[in-house]
């Protein structure tokens, strides 16, 4: 496999992968490129009328409350103008839905505590914030955390 970069003076930037067939390695490469591009950007979030540009990597989780979407970081909570399904589409693939009302950054998870009912609580690195997951999302959550830890 060879890698080649072409520069173009105008037009939209694009990344093209040419291959004989779309193998698992190619799909992994696509995922890595997509995550690298998406995670480099910032997302506009609000406290009152003040707009902040927060790195996507700093966000621990998104949750809905009273019909609004809030993003939580180690140091604060910000309002978002996006709906939860829109957040799912614009965030890197290591952000996953864990309930009807929450999306979590799997790279920032430090602990999972499961209840007898199957639902549970997620703890985060560097803070005391917690968010709850629904039992129907547990297996996908565990798989995604393992993928993230292995760097897949």
According to DSSP, the residues that pair with 61 across neighbouring strands are 72, 104
pLDDT in tens, 113-122: 988 887 899 9
> The domain 42-150 belongs to what CATH superfamily?
LytTr DNA-binding domain (2.40.50.1020)
* pLDDT-based confidence at residue 39 (cuts at 50, 70, 90): low
d(CA 65, CA 38): 26
Task: Give the list of residues 6+ apart from residue 55 with CB closer than 8 angstroms, or none.
Answer: 42
- CA neighbours closer than 13 Å in the CB half-sphere of residue 144: 20
Domain ranges (residues) in the chain: 42-150
For residues 77-98, give the mean pLDDT.
93
Please tell me which of 17-26, 73-82, 133-142 the model is most confident about, judged by mean pLDDT.
73-82
The rounded mean pLDDT for the chain is 88
């Amino acid at each position: 496999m060879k890698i080649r970069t072409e520069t173009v003076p105008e037009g939209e930037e694009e990344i093209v992968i040419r291959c004989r067939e779309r193998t698992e390695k190619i799909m992994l490469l696509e995922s890595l490129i997509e995550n690298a591009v998406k995670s480099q950007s910032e997302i506009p979030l609000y406290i009152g009328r003040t707009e902040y540009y927060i790195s996507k990597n700093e966000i621990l989780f998104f949750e809905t409350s009273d019909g609004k979407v809030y993003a939580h970081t180690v140091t604060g909570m910000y309002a978002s103008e996006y709906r939860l399904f829109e957040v799912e589409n614009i965030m890197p693939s290591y952000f996953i839905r864990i309930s009807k009302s929450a999306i979590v950054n799997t790279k920032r998870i430090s602990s999972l505590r499961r209840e007898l009912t199957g639902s549970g609580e997620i703890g985060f690195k560097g803070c005391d914030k917690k968010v709850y997951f629904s039992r129907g999302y547990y297996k996908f959550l565990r798989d995604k955390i393992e993928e993230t830890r292995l760097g897949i």
